[in-house]
Structures are given as C-alpha cells and as structure tokens.
Amino acid sequence: MPQILDQNEIDALLSAVDAGTVGLDEDDAGAASQQAFHPRGNQVRPYDFKRPERVSKEQMRSLESLHETYSRNFGASLSGYLRTIVEVHIISIEQMTYSEFLQLLPNPTCMNLLTCKPLEGNLILEINPLIIFPIIDRLLGGGNEAVFVPDRALTAIETLLVARIVQRGIDALHEAWLPVREIQFEAVHTEANPAMVQIVPPNEVVVVIGFEIGMGGRSGMMSFCIPFNVIEPIVSEFSGHNWSLYSRHSDNDFARKRITTRVSGTPVSLTAYLAETDISLNELMELKPGDILKTDKSSGSELLVTVNGKPKFRGKPGIYKGLKAVELVRLALPQERI
C-alpha cells in the first residue's frame, strides 16, 4: 500500500523543496508545466490540415437525414424497374479530400459526372462493378443467381443500360433535395477510370456518402461525392433547428402533391346502370330500335354508378343543360347491386 505522510513529513518536504535540496523529476516538471498552461486538463486535440472539417456536424447530420430519404426512394424505384426487391441503405458519410476519395474507388468502375444547376460545379455518382453487373444481367433477362463480374469497363450497350439506372437515381436525388433547394441534376459523362475525372483540386474537401445496394443476395457499394465548393452557397440551409421535422413535413407534402398530380390525370371508366333484367338469347337477337324492355325497377329508384366496374356512388337520373345526367346522392356500399 502507498505510504501516507503525516503533517510533519509534509512540512519537511515542502521546506526541502523551497531550500532547493529536493527537485522535481522531469516527468513531474512536465506535468506541472502542462497543468499550468491548461488548468482544466489537456484540451488540445490534433488537427489534420490535409483533411479540414469545413462542414459542421449539424450540417453532416442534415445531409445524412436528407440522403436517407433518397436511399428509400431510389430503392423503391429500382425495385419496380427491375421487378425484384432492391434495398438501398446509407452506411457512411464523411469528409475527406478528393484525392483520398479517388483512392477508395476500384479501377475500372462506373463513375457518372453530374451537373447540378443552378449550383456551379459537378458531383460524382459512382456505382461499384460488384452490383452494376448483376443489375445489367437482370435487365437482360437474368435471374437472381450468382453473376460473374468481369474486370473491365462497361461496353457501349452496357453504358446505355446503366444510364437508365442512373437516371432513376437522379430523379430520386431531385426529389430528396427539394426541401432544401430545387436542383436540376443531369448526368453528362460516364467514366471507368477514376483518375480521369478531376472535378476539383486533389486537396479540395468533399463530402462522400456511401450506400449499400442489395439485390437477390448480391450487394455492392455506391458513392455520392459532393465537393464543398459546390454546396458552399447553400450549406447554411443544412443547419435548420427542426430539420428532421421540416424534412418529414416537406416530404409528406411533396409526396401528396405528386400523387395527386399523377392520379388526377388518370382516365377512369364511369358507368351508370339504369336497371337489369333477364331475357332469352332469341329475344336478344330479335331486338330492334323502339322495343321496350320491362324491369322490376321503378323510375324513381336510385341508379348504381361504378368506377372501373366497382360500385362507388348512388345517383338519380335527370337532365342538365339539355343533356342526360346523373345526380350523385350518396356513396355506394361495396356489396350493393344494380
């Protein structure tokens, strides 16, 4: 156990230090000096000038929340297009230099250069060959079984097929960014060699968002590279206090408006049934204009109005501005008959 000094020993030790007969060790002196400069403890943290953090943590969280919405929309779009379940998840978001981002990419790969008007500059959407070739195989009629991934660049035909996938990613990106700013993303170039794409200086800070795309037991990475100088004019808009609430409210409003717009232009078949009766086939063949069919339904009874063959309303026949019309009086029950 450590030795405990009494008060007399402490006084003698302090006197010896004051007289200079007892000195401090090097380690003790260093600790005492550091404590003198930092009375609250060591608050110094290392700073890497090669990787400056130009985007705050709050802004990074906002970007992550925004692209979580993007990953869900993109996954749903791919699932409908490929006729199979495709899951897209965001797995990382970090700041790094552009040169470090390029070193993380395989060669060859599928790099898509995007413009983002009205912002100036370019973004990069990169899809790993481990998932892009299974997607191409699926587009060409393949199943979900294992697919050989060749170590080569995409052919001209494969590039055209991938362009359709990229366009769906761009559409989902446009929708996800609407709560912040309406930005028109457009793919302008596709490159296989990462070293051939220099959108910013090598030491420029970029935000890299990593996604994992899973389809039929196969998975691969997708990276979205956002140079800081491109989003610098709007970076302050990622610092809202209630970003998650605003984003959720905006997403719901936008989704509702989009669904309403698309559904409102959909043609439907509206049919009003006057009555029904049973006749023989011979009677049907002998019918001619002017013949009268007897039914058990009175003239004042409500008519059944169907939408695409399903009961929807009950109405009354009449005339409106000289035209035959049906006045809707109530909703019909699903089991109602003519």
> Does some domain include residue 82?
yes
> Does some domain include residue 337?
no
Residue type, 303: L
pLDDT reported for residue 5: 65
Q: Tell me, what CATH number does 195's domain have?
A: 3.40.1550.10
286 vs 245: which has the higher pLDDT: 286
Whether the per-residue pLDDT at 151 is higher than 60: the answer is yes
Q: Write out pLDDT tens, residues 19-58.
A: 666 555 545 544 444 444 444 445 666 655 655 567 788 8
> Does some domain include residue 245?
yes
CA dist., res. 34 & res. 40, Å (int): 10
Using the 3D structure, point to which of 234, 263, 292 is the last residue of a domain: 263
Q: Write out pLDDT tens, residues 218-248.
A: 889 999 999 998 888 888 877 654 444 444 4
pLDDT reported for residue 295: 82
Under the banding of pLDDT at 50, 70 and 90, the label for residue 144 is low
- Is residue 246 domain-shared with residue 311, that is, in the same domain? no
- Is residue 113 domain-shared with residue 224, that is, in the same domain? yes
- Is residue 94 domain-shared with residue 145, that is, in the same domain? yes
pLDDT reported for residue 115: 92
Is residue 63 within 8 A of residue 209, CB to CB? The reply is yes
- Is residue 325 domain-shared with residue 279, that is, in the same domain? yes
> Does some domain include residue 152?
yes
pTM higher than 0.75 for the full model? no
> Does some domain include residue 52?
no
Is residue 274 within 8 A of residue 304, CB to CB? The reply is no
Under the banding of pLDDT at 50, 70 and 90, the label for residue 275 is confident
Using the 3D structure, point to which of 209, 240, 263 is the last residue of a domain: 263
Whether the per-residue pLDDT at 76 is higher than 50: the answer is yes
Q: Write out pLDDT tens, residues 155-206.
A: 999 999 999 999 999 999 998 888 888 889 999 999 999 988 889 998 889 9
- Is residue 254 domain-shared with residue 322, that is, in the same domain? no
Q: What average pLDDT does this structure show over 146-161?
A: 86
Tokens representing 238 are 């990622």
Is residue 217 within 8 A of residue 144, CB to CB? The reply is yes
Is residue 317 within 8 A of residue 303, CB to CB? The reply is yes
- Is residue 167 domain-shared with residue 61, that is, in the same domain? yes
Q: What average pLDDT does this structure show over 261-282?
A: 83
The count of structural domains within the chain is: 3
Provide the residue range defining the domain that includes 27: 1-45
Is residue 177 within 8 A of residue 66, CB to CB? The reply is yes
- Is residue 161 domain-shared with residue 193, that is, in the same domain? yes
CA torsion through residues 51, 53, 57, 59, sign: negative
> Does some domain include residue 338?
no
- Is residue 154 domain-shared with residue 178, that is, in the same domain? yes
- Is residue 235 domain-shared with residue 183, that is, in the same domain? yes
Question: Mean pLDDT of all residues in the chain?
Answer: 81
246 vs 67: which has the higher pLDDT: 67
Q: What average pLDDT does this structure show over 79-100?
A: 90
pLDDT reported for residue 20: 64
Q: What average pLDDT does this structure show over 269-284?
A: 86
Q: Write out pLDDT tens, residues 301-328.
A: 888 888 888 888 888 888 888 888 888 8
Under the banding of pLDDT at 50, 70 and 90, the label for residue 127 is very high
pLDDT reported for residue 33: 45
Q: Please report, for residues 5, 8, 309, the alpha-carbon distance to residue 2 in angstroms, rounded to integers and kept in the order given.
A: 10, 18, 92
Using the 3D structure, point to which of 263, 282, 304 is the last residue of a domain: 263
> Does some domain include residue 19?
yes
- Is residue 109 domain-shared with residue 235, that is, in the same domain? yes
CA dist., res. 146 & res. 183, Å (int): 38
DSSP assignment of 16-54 equals: HHHHTSS---HHHHHHHHHHHH-TT--------TTS---
Whether the per-residue pLDDT at 126 is higher than 90: the answer is yes
CA dist., res. 115 & res. 136, Å (int): 24
